[in-house]
Amino acid sequence: MRKTICSLGAFFGVLLTIAIPAVSAGQETARPITADAIRQAELLLGLEFTPAERQQLMERQRFFQDLAGLRESYGLIRAAAPDQSVMPALHFMPQPPAWSPPKTDLGPTWTHVGGALRPATLEDAAYWTIAELAELIRTRQVTSVELTRMYLGRLERFDPDVHVVVTLLEDAALRQAARADRELAAGRYRGPLHGIPYALKDLFAVEGYPTTWGAAANGFEQMEGTATVARKLEEAGAVLLAKVSLGALAWGDVWFGGKTRNPWNLEEGSSGSSAGSAASVSAGLVPFAIGTETWGSIVSPSSTTGVTGLRPTFGRVSRAGGMAVSWSMDKVGPICRAAEDCGMVLDAIRGSDGIDRSAVNVAFNYTPEVDWAALRVGYVEADFEGDDASAVLDRATLDVFRSLGARLVPIELPDRPVEALSLILGAEAAASFDVITRTGLDDRLPLQAVDAWPNVLRTTRFIPAAEYIQANRIRTLLGQDMAQIMTNVDVYLAPAQRGDNSLVTNLTGHPAISLPNGFTDLTSPNAITVIARLYDEATLLAVARAYQQATDFHRRHPPRFAR
């Protein structure tokens, strides 16, 4: 009789005691598969076979249909495995079968920023929003070259404090800025990102520069070409100043150059994995940056450093030209000062590119107005309980929404084994970083703790294919649950770093935005998230903007970096 004998926690607990020798690509082991080896594997996999069944498993059958044949097949697959840019044939699409996109893409309508005047000292504009800086450029009070030089100076001056810069693109940035100024002088204005500097998470390729993945250049993949997101931003007129840090292989805030620091408290890390993206915006080193999220990697550092981070719907933005952690969960999004800034960047980078098969063209009909009488706003009631400082701030946020006219509806998240479904991410990461694990490159990663990538990637090699498939089937049900919840509310609120909401919505692909909502002490920002229906970033950003119009938390910045 076969039966499951361990929970996910026990499963990982067993796996963490196993040491796995590094095996180079294509190398096969000659060690025989014995009944005792099978019995040990049963323990790891939560199965129980009889002695007779174990004997059958050891008998040679047709190729790939016995254990020895399967082991041989692994070598063939490893030898033929493509690079990270090739997605699996089975790929995730979050929309339900009956879903259809809006018929008309009218594009966004931005809030008009009038009367913006150049400050006496340009660096006093370092914390201005994209919209405000764009008005200075559009009205030719400031050139892109001037703005670029100002932010380059801040990057050079403050990087020793925050450790965000992997590669500074000074010469290329000044050339891009000069081109933007020439175009504007000739009457060509590309839109609100024209001449605006930005930073790019260093897991995206830019032709002519290294892509380190936060793991050091030696031995890790060097990506060719230019990522779609960087190409689209260049087409929108944005100026790339630097490739910035991420925790090694998109884990945390520790990379080969050290720990990226939280500008509010340099004794602390910035969280990750979009560590440099969030910290560079928080410290006023760039007006916006591009990050990625698989499970919290935009929302968490944005929350920690007190900035506004948008995680778009899965598939809104192409991942082409970027390092993959999980092909079915990775998302690309902007980290900015304000919600409408995030919309301006999203509008430039959204849409399909003919490379990333998950990327789709869906309307983005943003307008800043919110009809609170027609809008239904939910909140994850259980996650707002407690007496800690963060919970108090989060409940105060609910009061702000009530004052705006929102009718708040308590909701509950789906009752599924959500944490167990994180093995989906683990299995895909194990495949993505397969060569790194098998060749011993993982020994070069800066973090070697039990709960860091090297050990986790070894652990996740033991996830059975059947369990990965079953987890994805439950994920389908989770998506159906969320679709039902979102028939009752247009958006809902959840604390940024508490409860299951982050994992649930990363699995289902829903868009979210992290909004600063106060400080638990003088140097510890807190944040709330707003979640919307799939592809409805328009409503999401309008609601977020309304909250920020009623508060000033997004306008606050760490005093150390004021000038």
| Residues catalogued as catalytic | 201, 273, 297
Helix (H, G, I), strand (E, B) or coil at 478: helix
**Virtual CA dihedral for 451, 457, 462, 463, nearest 10 degrees?**
90
Which residue, 222, 212, 270, is CA-closest to 243?
212
- AA identity, residue 504: V
User: What is the spatial distance between Cα 505 and Cα 519, in angstroms, rounded to a whole number?
Assistant: 25
Nearest to 315 by CA among 114, 94, 156, 494: 94
Cα 396 off chain centre by: 27
Strands of 289-293's sheet in order across? 165-168, 239-244, 197-201, 289-293, 331-336, 308-311, 512-521, 524-532, 491-495, 376-380, 407-411
Q: Provide the token pair at 456.
A: 């986790």
Alpha carbon distance 308, 541 (integer Å): 11
| Cα–Cα dist 532/555, whole Å | 24
Query: By the 8 A CB rule, do 466 and 423 touch?
Result: no
| CA gap 245, 164 in Å, rounded | 5
Establish how many alpha carbons lie within 13 A of residue 247's alpha carbon, considering only the half-sphere containing its beta carbon.
27
Strand 524-532 and strand 491-495: the pairing is: antiparallel
H/E run at residue 474? helix 465-485
Alpha-carbon 382 to chain mean position: 25
